[in-house]
Chains A and B, each alone.
Chain A
Amino acid sequence: MKPNLLMLFLRWCPGALGMLLRQKLYPKLLGNCGKNVLIGRYVTFSNPEKIHLGDNVIINDLASLLVSNSTPQAAIVLEKGAFVGTGSRLTAENDRISLLSGCNIGSNCLIFAQTEVRVEENVLFAAYCKVGEPSLLTSSQQHEKGQITVIGAGSWLGVRTVVNEGVHIGHDSIVGAHSTVDADIEPYIIAFGQPARRRVHRLEEKKNPNFIKRSGDNRKST
């Protein structure tokens, strides 16, 4: 009971006082907590002993990191320098969520891990993205397939992108705003559309910058 009352107070406590108290006391409550971690107000943790934060992680106000009790693999790992925007929700329902170093998750995003979700280094999520939308496979089929959703290193998901469960987005790729990604994307590809079928290679787009504009100018955004 005591840790829960303490967490309730820490969650509410405003201003620099709240920030300092959370920085000093949350390491005792979480599974693992690095140095210089900044956690905002009204951040909800569920099963905090399964949540691991690296150094210099920033979690903004109103975010929630929820780990369910359903399986032992469920956990949330944020490596050093990860940033979670205001109001974003990370829910490890059945498996783990890993945000590798330098990730920047925008505000009001949703990452839902029915199967494992790995967001690799230096990925940028714009606002309102949703990753891990459940697929049509049953959970035993998914488990057999060893499904994992991977957002490759250095990628950029535009505003309001939806990424289905089990999709692999290659490194250094870009997904246009309002796109729905239901199939794998190779590295260095710019993909957009609902679903994201229109593809152009970043290096080709560099050579011919009018390509995207003629195809409807779906521009990416932070």
Chain B
Amino acid sequence: MSKINSSLATGGSSLNKYKMAVTGNTSNISLLRYEWFTLFVTPFPGWLGKCLRRWLYPFIFEKIGKNSVVEANCTIRQAERITLGARTKIGKYVTLDVRPGGTGIHIGDDVTVGEKTIIISSQDLLDIGRGTRIGEACRIGSIHEVKIGRNCTIGDEVCFVAAGHTYDRTDIPIIDQPITTRGVVTVGDNVRIGHNTTLMDGVTIGNNVEIVSHSFVNKDVPADTKIAGVPAQDLNGNPVK
């Protein structure tokens, strides 16, 4: 059974498990506050909804900068660990999820996050630098720290992989084997990441890099290069060193 289902099926009341998942603690006050916001503030449509959120979200978020717009129906968990900069635009149905034990999500000024994108901080900080634009339906997962630089452009359906599984044993399914993660992901400034690319855990991307769409990046990329392919190589066909 997957970790999610088995952790839900064993020990602890359903209510406590739900509280931990959405607020990171078992306080009833936190839960009531979360539910109030989720019922009345988050789904409110249209211009009125945006105003309501601009007025009320600063009470639950760690910090929200001026003129930030959060569209309706985002899934926001442990908002007290999430910082939004000034003039950010968070699209509809975006998930900003700080898991229990997660450090938090910092989103810089002038950042745009496309619709349906999922941003998860399971353990360490997830930091998105100012001016960065993130496309739609991306998945940015993190266990170790993920740091994205300034003025980057990230395309649609881009995946930042958080972790993999070991598969040493052949007697139990892979899904039951331990999770492994290679380390911190760092993306420099002015990086262009094309649509449908995948960045593995533990890679460092230098400044001014261009990653062509549909690539798979599993090694560090030095600054000022352009790479493409599966696995991503520089344009002379040499593997990235």
Q: Which A residues are within 8 Å of any B CB, using their own CB?
A: 12, 14-17, 36, 38, 41-42, 56, 58, 61-62, 81, 83, 86-87, 101-104, 107-108, 121-124, 126-128, 153-156, 159-160, 172, 174, 177-178, 188, 194, 202-203, 206, 216-222
- The answer to whether A222 and B161 have CB atoms under 8 Å apart is yes
Q: A121-B173, A177-B200, A177-B216 are known contacts; what are 15 more A-B pairs with Cβ within 8 Å?
A: A14-B38, A15-B39, A16-B18, A102-B5, A108-B157, A122-B1, A127-B139, A128-B139, A160-B198, A172-B173, A202-B170, A203-B170, A217-B218, A218-B230, A220-B164
**Residue B95 is within 8 A (CB to CB) of chain A in the complex:** yes
B116 touches A87 (CB 8 A): yes
Decide: B173 and A174 in contact? CB cutoff 8 A.
Answer: no
B120 to chain A, nearest CB (A): 10
CA of A121 to CA of B168 in the docked complex: distance in angstroms?
19
The 10 closest A-B pairs by CB, nearest first: A154-B173, A122-B173, A15-B38, A104-B2, A221-B161, A124-B175, A178-B230, A81-B5, A102-B1, A156-B174
1/0 contact trace for B107-135 toward A, CB 8 Å?
Answer: 00000000010100000000000000000
Q: Are B73 and A222 in contact (CB under 8 A)?
A: no
Q: Is the CB of B5 within 8 A of A87?
A: no
Q: Give the CA-CA distance A160 to B137 in the complex, in Å.
A: 13
Among B172, B173, B179, B219, max chain A CB count under 10 A is at B173
Give the chain B neighbours of A123 by CB distance below 8 A. 173, 175
User: Cβ of B175 and Cβ of A102 under 8 Å apart?
Assistant: yes
Q: Is the CB of B174 within 8 A of A172?
A: yes
- Contact residues of A: prevailing secondary structure: loop
Say how far A151's CB is from chain B's closest CB, in angstroms.
Answer: 12
Size of the chain B interface, CB-CB below 8 angstroms: 50
What string of 1s and 0s marks CB contacts (under 8 Å) between B155-189 and chain A?
Answer: 00101011111011010111110010000000000
CB distance from A159 to the nearest CB of B (A): 5
Structural contact, B5 and A127, CB atoms closer than 8 A: no
Which residues in A have their C-beta under 8 angstroms from that of B101? none
Q: B9 on the interface (CB 8 Å rule)?
A: yes
List 13 interface pairs A-B (beta carbons < 8 Å), by A numbering: A36-B9, A42-B93, A61-B95, A83-B2, A86-B95, A107-B118, A122-B176, A124-B165, A178-B230, A188-B170, A218-B231, A221-B161, A222-B163
Contact across chains for A154 and B116 when beta carbons are under 8 A apart: no
| Chain A residues within an 8 Å CB radius of B165 | 124, 156, 222
B161: A residues at CB distance < 8 A: 126, 159, 221-222
Q: Mark B residues whose CB is within 8 Å of A.
A: 1-2, 4-5, 8-9, 14, 18, 31, 34-35, 38-39, 42-43, 73, 75, 93, 95, 116, 118, 137, 139, 157, 159, 161-165, 167-168, 170, 172-176, 179, 196, 198, 200-201, 214, 216, 218-219, 230-231, 239
Contact of A17 among B39, B200, B216, B231 (CB under 8 A): B39
Q: Does the CB pair A221–B198 fall under 8 Å?
A: yes
Which residue of chain B has its CB nearest to the CB of A180?
B230
What is the chain A residue whose CB lies nearest that of B95? A86
B216 touches A14 (CB 8 A): no
In the assembled complex, the CB of A56 is this many whole angstroms from the nearest CB of chain B, namely: 6
Q: Are A177 and B198 in contact (CB under 8 A)?
A: yes
Q: Are B230's CB and A194's CB within 8 A?
A: yes
Query: Bound complex: CA of A108 vs CA of B95, how far in Å?
Result: 13
Question: Could you tell me if B5 and A56 are in contact, using CB atoms closer than 8 angstroms?
Answer: yes
A105 to chain B, nearest CB (A): 10
Interface contact B196-A160, CB-CB below 8 Å: yes
- Residues on the B chain within 8 Å of A86, using CB: 95, 118
In the complex, the answer to whether B5 meets A58 with C-beta atoms within 8 Å is yes
Contacts of A194 in B (CB 8 A): 230
In chain B, what residue has the closest Cβ to A205? B167
Contact A202 B218 (CB under 8 A): no
Contact in complex: B175, A154 (CB < 8 Å): yes
A12 touches B167 (CB 8 A): no
In the bound complex, residues from chain A placing their C-beta under 8 Å from that of B43 are: 12, 14
